[in-house]
Amino acid sequence: MKFPFAELVHLDNLWFQVTGTLCNLSCTHCFNRSGPQARSFGFLTLAQVQEELETAVRAGVKEIFFTGGEPFLHPQLPEMLELSLAVAPTTVLTNGMLISNRLADRMAEMERKARYSLEIRVSLDGWTEASNDALRGRGVFKQVLAAIERLCQRGLLPLVTVVRTWDEGEDQAALEGFGSVLKAAGYARPRIKLLPALPLGRELERSPQAGAESSLLSEEMLEGFDRDLLMCSNSRLVTDRGVWVCPLLVEIPAARLGARLQDAAPTYELKHPACMSCYHYGTICGNVSALIEGPAELKRP
């Protein structure tokens, strides 16, 4: 089968997998199998981050993202965020477990001083303790809500990131459920980002039908499709093992494009089932909510 290629049109978004796959949680739906023993990717150094930031700024980068694993396991993450915020808007994706009062103070201070936005994306996958902790681990619900409260008390508005583990028809009820639990935790105007579950990593074991139902992209499907919605046309991921086409495909060796940003290959063959998530929902890894209703069909009213 012949698959379509995507070209990097412009490096809008640079991602750092700053702690590799090391995480203090091991969620049952984790797309890159992060966990306390997951060592398939390691830590980036401050010098590596600085060097790739400089390359990206020369290329006209728009936004920077820090992910993992759990980024706050890196002792130098705050310094990295400061470096990044000095040149571009910056987002960190966290499970929230390590956000102490001291760290929340530092993030609030950093945000106040920066002229760009600092987005803190905190994961929460159920609006009840039972449903969240079944996916993310015992005790996580309470700790994460406490972390969200700490951020809110300091004027930060975290983007609560939720993976859909229910039927699409229940989205509205779910959003209302999350909204009320966040308000009760002191988040007066909760920002919620809903994501589809991805047919990758541990999610394939938790939900085997996700893999079985997945399909692949073809050249015909991309005819007339807005390729700006494909993350690989505007993003790259830096890891300690090289540059990957996107954060989702880190387990795919063919998705490694080179050692460093400046010599990474500019094109990628879209031959993985996970490529369908950008096709269906738009660039889901970005900060605005995914197109959870699917792409709008344009018809005459």
Which residue, 211 or 294, is less far from another protein as judged by CB? 294
| Residue 288 beta carbon to another protein: minimum distance, rounded to whole angstroms | 5
Q: Which of residues 225-254 bind another protein (CB under 8 A)?
A: 228
Q: Which of residues 157-216 bind another protein (CB under 8 A)?
A: 157, 159, 171-172, 175, 189, 191
CA angle, corner 66, sides to 62 and 69, nearest 5?
Answer: 155
Residue 220 one-letter amino acid:
E
23 counts as binding another protein under rule CB under 8 A: no
Stretch that binds another protein, among 122-130, 160-168, 196-204, 290-298 (CB under 8 A): 290-298
Dihedrals φ, ψ of 222, to 5°? -90, -5
Residue owning tokens 């702690």? 19
278 with 217: CB under 8 angstroms? Answer: no
88 counts as binding another protein under rule CB under 8 A: yes
Q: Is 171 helix (H, G, I), strand (E, B) or coil?
A: helix
- Nearest C-alpha neighbor of 185 from the set 150, 145, 151: 145
Stretch that binds another protein, among 25-33, 125-133, 135-143, 155-163 (CB under 8 A): 155-163
CA angle, corner 292, sides to 288 and 295, nearest 5?
Answer: 95
Stretch that binds another protein, among 199-207, 210-218, 257-265, 280-288 (CB under 8 A): 280-288
Residue owning tokens 């499709």? 225
CA 146 to CA 272: how far, in whole Å?
A: 38
182 with 133: CB under 8 angstroms? Answer: no
Which residue, 47 or 296, is less far from another protein as judged by CB? 296
Convert residues 90-129 into a mask of x (bound to another protein by CB under 8 A) and - (unbound). ---------------------x---xxxxx----------
Stretch that binds another protein, among 195-203, 216-224, 261-269, 292-300 (CB under 8 A): 292-300
Q: Is 248 helix (H, G, I), strand (E, B) or coil?
A: helix
Query: Binder to another protein among 75, 155, 169, 253 (CB under 8 A)?
Result: 155
CA 30 to CA 247: how far, in whole Å?
A: 12
Binding site for another protein (CB under 8 A): 10, 12, 56-63, 87-89, 111, 115-119, 155-157, 159, 171-172, 175, 189, 191, 228, 282, 287-293, 296-301
